[in-house]
C-alpha cells in the first residue's frame, strides 16, 4: 500500500504525507509534477512518455530508494497549487529557487543546475535593447515562469512593451520567430540545448542581453515533507558527485 502519514493535530511542526519515514514494508509512491513542454529538462514524447534530464534524475533517486514514481504533466501556471493541495508530491521541471517560491508554499532541495535569463530577438533586428523594450510591441514569455516575472519587473521600471504570455518556452520562441513578438525572455538552460538540436532556429535569432545574476534550479517539495526532502538531498548529493551526473548532462545537451 502507498505510504501515507495521517495529518497530526496541533503541533509546532506540522505533519504531512512525507514528514517521517515509512513503516517497514510500506510502498513509497511519489507523484512527480512536471512541465510537458520544457525540453531538455521535462517533456512528453510522441508516445506519451515523460522524458528529459529531470525525469532521469527523479527516476535515479527513486531507483536508489526503491520508490515508485508516477510522472504527471501539469500546467505550469497552477503547478505550485497542485503541490500544495497534494495532487502532486514534488516538482522537478527546471524550477528556479526564488525567495517568493521558497516561502511557506514550497521548500526546495539543494540546487542542482545554474543558468541565466536572456532577452532574445530575431537575428535581423538591429535595434538596441532600449529600443526593443520601448517599442510598444509584444515580448513573449511563458506564463508563470521566472521569465514572466522578469517581464513584470521591466514593465514596473517603466519600459513600454506588451507582455505576450504563452504556455511554454517553446511557444514563446515560436511567437518570436513568426513575428507575433519583437523579443522573447527565456533562460539559457532551455535555449542552449534547444538550439543544439535545432541549428536552423539558431541562425534566425540572437541573444540581445542577459538579465540579472545566474540562478539555480531545485526540486520543490511541501514544507512539511521533511523526510522526503532529506532523502532527495542525500540522493542528489550522491548523484552530482558521481560520473553518472556528467553522463546525464551530456545526454541532454547540458554540458558536463
Structural domains of the chain, with CATH: 29-112+218-251 (3.40.190.10), 116-215 (3.40.190.10)
> What is the tens place of the pLDDT at every residue in 217-247?
999 999 999 999 999 999 999 999 999 999 9
pLDDT top residue among 252 and 8: 252
pLDDT tier at 191, thresholds 50, 70, 90: very high
Buried b (16+ CB within 10 A) or exposed e, 46-81: eeeebbbbbbbbbebbbeeeebebebbbbebeebbe
pLDDT of residue 6: 36
pLDDT of residue 10: 37
pLDDT of residue 15: 78
How far, in Å, CA of 100 to CA of 111, rounded? Answer: 16
- Mean pLDDT over 133-156 rounds to 96
pLDDT of residue 109: 97
Residue 8 and residue 14 in contact, taking contact as beta carbons nearer than 8 Å: yes
Residue 173 and residue 198 in contact, taking contact as beta carbons nearer than 8 Å: no
> What is the tens place of the pLDDT at every residue in 147-188?
999 999 999 999 999 999 999 999 999 999 999 999 999 999
pLDDT of residue 238: 98
pLDDT tier at 14, thresholds 50, 70, 90: low
Residue 108 and residue 102 in contact, taking contact as beta carbons nearer than 8 Å: yes
- pLDDT over threshold 50, residue 68: yes
How far, in Å, CA of 142 to CA of 184, rounded? Answer: 9
pTM score: 0.82
> What is the tens place of the pLDDT at every residue in 31-56?
999 999 999 999 999 999 999 999 99
Amino acid at each position: 500500500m502507498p505510504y501515507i502519514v495521517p495529518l497530526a493535530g496541533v503541533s509546532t511542526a506540522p505533519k504531512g504525507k512525507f514528514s517521517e519515514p515509512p513503516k517497514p514494508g510500506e510502498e513509497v509512491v511519489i507523484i512527480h509534477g512536471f512541465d510537458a513542454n520544457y525540453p531538455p529538462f521535462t517533456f512528453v514524447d510522441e508516445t506519451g512518455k515523460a522524458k528529459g534530464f529531470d525525469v532521469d534524475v527523479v527516476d535515479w533517486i527513486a531507483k536508489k530508494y526503491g520508490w515508485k514514481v508516477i510522472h504527471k504533466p501539469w500546467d505550469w501556471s497552477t503547478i505550485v497549487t497542485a503541490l500544495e493541495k497534494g495532487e502532486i508530491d514534488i516538482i522537478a521541471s527546471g524550477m528556479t529557487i526564488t525567495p517568493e517560491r521558497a516561502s511557506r508554499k514550497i521548500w526546495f532541495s539543494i540546487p542542482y543546475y545554474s543558468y541565466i535569463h536572456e532577452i532574445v530577438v530575431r537575428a535581423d533586428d538591429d535595434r538596441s535593447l532600449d529600443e526593443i523594450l520601448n517599442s510598444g510591441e509584444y515580448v513573449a514569455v511563458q506564463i508563470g515562469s521566472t521569465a514572466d516575472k522578469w517581464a513584470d519587473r521591466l514593465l514596473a521600471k517603466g519600459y513600454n512593451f506588451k507582455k505576450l504570455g504563452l504556455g511554454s518556452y517553446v511557444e514563446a520562441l515560436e511567437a518570436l520567430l513568426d513575428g507575433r513578438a519583437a523579443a522573447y525572455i527565456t533562460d539559457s538552460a532551455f535555449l542552449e540545448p534547444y538550439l543544439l538540436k535545432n541549428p536552423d532556429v539558431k541562425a534566425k535569432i540572437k541573444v540581445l542581453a542577459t538579465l540579472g545574476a545566474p540562478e539555480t534550479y531545485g526540486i520543490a517539495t511541501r514544507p512539511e515533507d521533511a523526510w522526503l526532502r532529506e532523502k532527495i538531498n542525500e540522493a542528489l548529493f550522491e548523484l552530482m558527485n558521481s560520473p553518472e551526473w556528467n553522463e546525464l548532462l551530456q545526454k541532454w545537451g547540458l554540458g558536463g
